[in-house]
Amino acid sequence: MLLLKRMRGTPSSICNNRIRLTGRAARGAVVALVVAATGALPAIAEKPQCALLQGVMKEVSAVRALTPKGEVPCAIASREEIGEFLRQSVSKKLPPKKLEMEQVVYRAVGIVPDEYDYVHGVIEFYLSQIGGYYDPDTKRFVMADWIPASIQESVARHELTHALQDQSYGLDRFLDPTGDNGDQLMALASLVEGDAAAVMNDIDRMQRGQPPLAKIKSIDTGEEDKVLALTTAALPTQTPQALEAMILFPYVHGIKFVHAILRSGGYAAVDAAFKEPPRSSHEILQPGDYLSRRFKAENPTAEGLASAAPGAAPLYSDVLGEFAVRAILEGAEISKTQASKASGGWKGDRAVLFVAPDGSRSVVWKSVWQSEVDAQEFASAYRAMIRSRYGVALGEQRTQISPSKAATLVAHGREVLAQFWIPRDPAA
């Protein structure tokens, strides 16, 4: 909302069996929901489950090669207490209008169906999935009281890695939810989550007498599929496919990205990545482009799109990014291979929600591609997605593609401009 701008905490999963609510856990405001939430947890107290933290911190700091700079208090909370904490955080940090504007954009471009209640859906998702978190605001680790004892150590390893990250790099600053580039936020969250997952994995490998991740050529794809299946099984069944893929991105792709960094220079190279981090999901998907620093995104500005909506005021702006494009295309009857190929030439984008003086709204989405061929390939795949989803041919003339929106799509040179017209907000 990822988010995703994580709830001022890196909410934890049950080891790898449930999604850990961090990252861009969807995107934009959703990521802010999961990463930057603050609030007071009522009536929580330290319990015997917290006794393992001292030993866990020693092994985590040894593997991660970061010295703790302070104690990390521990508390145990019930599902109801954590739920109330999350609701307070949403109320304080994310005004409903922000999620509603994100909903308009996501419905327009195809991340979620036109009828999907995004605002309700993402909040319910986090309430149903959260299992614990490290809170950079209070510098405290809160463990959910329903986590089985058999995996409490693994959860603590992951969360205490976040504590070390916070002490060394300041997660609040690193994952700043105030910007207008959700793709960059997704990349930063992938580094944060991939790092924590790598430390947890390396401790497990050390205990099994296996070489560390830095010494192996690739992460076993069978294990990746297993984690993906488990995390997907934990998601609410009504979660749209594209949104689900974006929620999982920092976990599925973050560990792969950090593995490539580890291969290049161990955890010292991961430290260097925190100082000069990735700026796009493209770099997470293509770690070689990050390591060589050869990729530079060309994201349009919101001001540059104003001419497409003359007289209208911008309300919301976001960079969707390469992976979001891929997720949108995969949500239709397009194979993963085709979607990956059609999104692979991404060079930049921006989507802006405008409102006219009469209250009418439009979403302008411009994407920039590495070549004219790449632009035409994406435009063709996007038209195929629209045709598959709505049974309508989308072209350069304004076309009503559903009861709730009309659209055009124009490809010119390396750019593709999509514009969507949405009825005025009845509550405005």
pLDDT mean over 201-208: 95
Backbone angles phi, psi at 367, to 5 degrees: -120, 145
Q: CA-based angle 397:356:114, to the nearest 5?
A: 60
According to the model, what pLDDT value does residue 275 have? 97
Give the Cα separation of 90 and 38 in Å (integer). 9
Q: What is the DSSP letter of 212?
A: P
At 284-343, the pLDDT tens digits run 999 999 999 999 999 999 999 999 999 999 999 999 999 999 999 997 778 899 999 999
Q: Position of tokens 């295309």?
A: 329
Give the Cα separation of 105 and 361 in Å (integer). 10
pTM: 0.89
According to the model, what pLDDT value does residue 253 have? 95
Q: Which of 236, 263, 267, 235 is nearest to 248 (CA)?
A: 235
Give the Cα separation of 346 and 375 in Å (integer). 8
Give the Cα separation of 234 and 273 in Å (integer). 31
According to the model, what pLDDT value does residue 130 have? 67
Q: Which of 86, 6, 21 is nearest to 247 (CA)?
A: 21
Q: What is the DSSP letter of 92?
A: H
Q: Mean pLDDT of all residues in the chain?
A: 84
- Which two tokens mark 280? 């796009």
Percent of the chain scoring above 70 in pLDDT: 80
Which residue spans of the chain are classified as CATH 3.40.1000? 303-422
At 33-86, the pLDDT tens digits run 454 444 444 444 556 778 899 999 999 999 999 999 999 999 998 888 887 887
**Amino acid identity, position 244:** E
Provide the residue count of the chain: 428
The domain 303-422 is placed in CATH, from the list 3.40.1000, 1.10.10, 3.30.200, 3.30.70, at: 3.40.1000
Q: Which of 182, 254, 213 is nearest to 1 (CA)?
A: 182
At 84-138, the pLDDT tens digits run 887 777 667 665 677 889 999 999 999 999 999 987 887 777 666 666 788 888 8
